[in-house]
């Protein structure tokens, strides 16, 4: 009897539908090869959900996600909704779904493919071999802390946000990072600002305590400002980076520059029960509908879904191998195109990846 996995498909805004459709085509190919069935059920999120329901995350969408084995998301937002109140913007849908599904660990892999090494802004000898994973705490910290807001004090307008972490919130994301590191190169770098922030002092204390349960994994501590510098100086020396919400947000975007295009960067947001997969790039409204978006980040996100939600490690690795092969053959979307390579559109890149998946599966 074939396995059936229920996937909530939230295409979202801008290029979201285009890149999600590409990922679904790849998943359909994997379905044929491995004899599993993916059941897709679509829901609304972001700007399109606001337009149709007035809510960036309708109850129907949340219910759909709660009753699925995994969630595949495209992108949300765009200038159309920029003037809405803060709590009504498309991005609030993302924050709400992360909190509602308790997706406390955001995994952002950054891998520099040899075929694209010249696309990186860093020198080849610096960036070559980079293969790191940022594990960012996702449902606590300064983005969610209370009290918050803009208020008046002594005749002046002030703004306030609160960075707060409790021991259990730090421990669960740290354990996730160490467990993943055990299956990689067995090194964890914890990033904080323990020399200045009390919340970071607690973060470091908990990380050190958890590390004792993983004696086979090397632990390195870096202050966030130094970590930002070392990501540029020695990116290939990092394996797994674990850090809080705001530091992880900033550092993962910085690391995202290393491969040369956001179109190459997947992500997973994982909790104890639910998981959501999405490309790191935004909705790119300036190129939406032109069929030129790079689908690789979303395809790799689907590959992460196979690995982390469905325990299909072999299928996940096959997707990555096929992407590497496609790049080695010289195929490029506009964002990674250079003279001497072959420019293809979104569908063209997807088709080449699918062809290579089928060919490599039959070897």
Is residue 93 within 8 A of residue 81, CB to CB? The reply is: no
Domain stops at, among 258, 279, 306: 258
Q: Which residue matches tokens 């790079």?
A: 294
Whether residue 98 is found in the same domain as residue 118 = no
**Quick check: is 87 catalytic?**
no
For residue 260, what pLDDT is reported? 85
| Residue from 21, 131, 253, 345 carrying the catalytic annotation | 253
pLDDT per residue as tens, the chain (363 positions)? 678 999 999 999 999 999 999 999 999 999 999 999 999 999 999 999 999 999 999 999 999 999 999 999 999 999 999 888 887 899 999 989 998 999 999 999 999 999 999 889 999 999 999 999 999 999 999 998 999 999 999 999 999 999 999 999 999 999 999 999 999 999 999 999 999 999 999 999 999 999 999 999 999 999 999 999 999 999 999 999 999 999 999 999 899 899 988 889 999 999 999 999 999 988 999 999 999 999 999 999 999 999 999 999 999 999 999 999 999 999 999 999 989 999 999 999 999 999 999 999 987
Whether residue 10 is found in the same domain as residue 36 = yes
Burial classification of residue 158, based on how many CB atoms lie within 10 Å of its CB (0-12 exposed, 13-18 middle, 19 or more buried): exposed
For residue 194, give the 3-state DSSP assignment.
Answer: coil
| Residue from 34, 143, 144, 223 carrying the catalytic annotation | 143
Domain that holds residue 188: 112-258
Whether residue 126 is found in the same domain as residue 250 = yes
For residue 291, what pLDDT is reported? 95
Whether residue 157 is found in the same domain as residue 215 = yes
Whether residue 291 is found in the same domain as residue 323 = yes
Whether residue 150 is found in the same domain as residue 252 = yes
Whether residue 251 is found in the same domain as residue 116 = yes
CATH number of the domain at 177, please: 3.40.718.10
For residue 362, what pLDDT is reported? 86
Does 221 fall in a domain? yes
Distances (CA, A) of 216 to 191, 212, 248: 20, 9, 24
In the Cβ-directed half-sphere of 326, how many Cα atoms lie within 13 Å? 28
Interhelix angle for 245-255 vs 224-233, to 10°? 10
pTM: 0.92
Does 6 fall in a domain? yes
| Residue from 193, 239, 335, 352 carrying the catalytic annotation | 193
For residue 152, what pLDDT is reported? 95
Is residue 189 within 8 A of residue 240, CB to CB? The reply is: yes
Does 264 fall in a domain? no
| Residue from 51, 168, 225, 272 carrying the catalytic annotation | 225
Whether residue 206 is found in the same domain as residue 281 = no
**Quick check: is 21 catalytic?**
no
| Residue from 89, 249, 277, 331 carrying the catalytic annotation | 249
Whether residue 81 is found in the same domain as residue 130 = no
For residue 2, what pLDDT is reported? 74
Does 266 fall in a domain? no
| Count of structural domains within the chain | 2
Taking phi over 0 as left and psi of -120 to 50 as alpha, with beta for the rest, 107 belongs to: beta
For residue 229, what pLDDT is reported? 98
Whether residue 95 is found in the same domain as residue 125 = no
264/231 Cα distance (integer angstroms): 18
**Quick check: is 225 catalytic?**
yes
18/297 Cα distance (integer angstroms): 12
For residue 1, what pLDDT is reported? 63
Does 241 fall in a domain? yes
276/95 Cα distance (integer angstroms): 12
Domain stops at, among 207, 236, 258: 258
For residue 102, what pLDDT is reported? 93
- The sign of the torsion formed by the CA atoms of 55, 262, 233, 185 equals positive
Runs of H (alpha helix) within the chain: 16-34, 47-53, 59-66, 90-100, 124-127, 167-182, 198-211, 224-233, 245-255, 296-308, 313-328, 346-361
Domain stops at, among 258, 291, 320: 258
Does 252 fall in a domain? yes
Does 263 fall in a domain? no
Those residues whose C-beta lies under 8 Å from the C-beta of residue 81, and which sit 6 or more positions away, are 47, 50, 89, 90
**Quick check: is 143 catalytic?**
yes
Whether residue 292 is found in the same domain as residue 202 = no
Whether residue 253 is found in the same domain as residue 163 = yes
For residue 258, what pLDDT is reported? 94
């Amino acid at each position: 009897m074939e396995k059936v996995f229920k996937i909530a498909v939230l295409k979202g805004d801008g290029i979201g539908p285009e890149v999600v459709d590409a990922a679904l085509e790849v998943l359909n190919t994997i379905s044929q090869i491995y004899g599993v069935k993916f059941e897709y059920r679509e829901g609304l999120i972001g700007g399109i959900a606001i337009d149709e329901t007035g809510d960036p995350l309708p109850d129907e969408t949340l219910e759909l996600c709660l009753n699925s084995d995994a969630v595949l998301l495209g992108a949300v937002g765009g200038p159309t909704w920029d003037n809405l109140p803060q709590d009504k913007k498309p991005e609030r849908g993302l924050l709400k779904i992360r909190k509602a599904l308790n997706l406390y660990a955001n995994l952002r892999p950054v891998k520099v493919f040899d075929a694209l090494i010249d696309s990186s802004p860093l020198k080849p000898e610096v960036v070559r071999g980079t293969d790191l994973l940022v594990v960012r705490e996702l449902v606590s910290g300064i983005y969610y802390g209370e009290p918050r807001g803009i208020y008046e004090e002594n005749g002046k307008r002030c703004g306030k946000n609160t960075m707060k972490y409790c021991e259990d919130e730090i421990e669960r994301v740290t354990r996730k990072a160490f467990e993943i590191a055990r299956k990689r190169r067995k090194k964890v770098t914890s990033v904080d600002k323990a020399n200045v922030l009390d919340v970071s002092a607690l973060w470091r204390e908990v990380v050190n305590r958890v590390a004792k349960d993983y004696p086979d994994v090397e632990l390195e501590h870096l202050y966030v400002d130094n970590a930002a510098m070392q990501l540029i100086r020695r990116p290939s020396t990092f394996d797994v980076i674990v850090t809080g919400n705001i530091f992880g947000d900033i550092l993962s975007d910085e690391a995202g520059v290393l491969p040369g295009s956001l179109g190459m960067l997947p992500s997973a947001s994982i909790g104890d029960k639910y998981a959501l997969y999405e490309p790191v790039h935004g909705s790119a409204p300036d190129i939406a509908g032109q069929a030129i978006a790079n689908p690789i980040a979303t395809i790799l996100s689907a590959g992460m879904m196979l690995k982390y939600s469905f325990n299909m490690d072999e299928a996940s690795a096959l997707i990555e191998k096929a992407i590497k092969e496609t790049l080695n053959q010289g195929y490029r979307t506009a964002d990674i195109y250079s003279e001497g390579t072959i420019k293809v559109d979104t569908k063209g890149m997807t088709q080449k990846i699918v062809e290579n998946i089928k060919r490599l599966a039959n070897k």
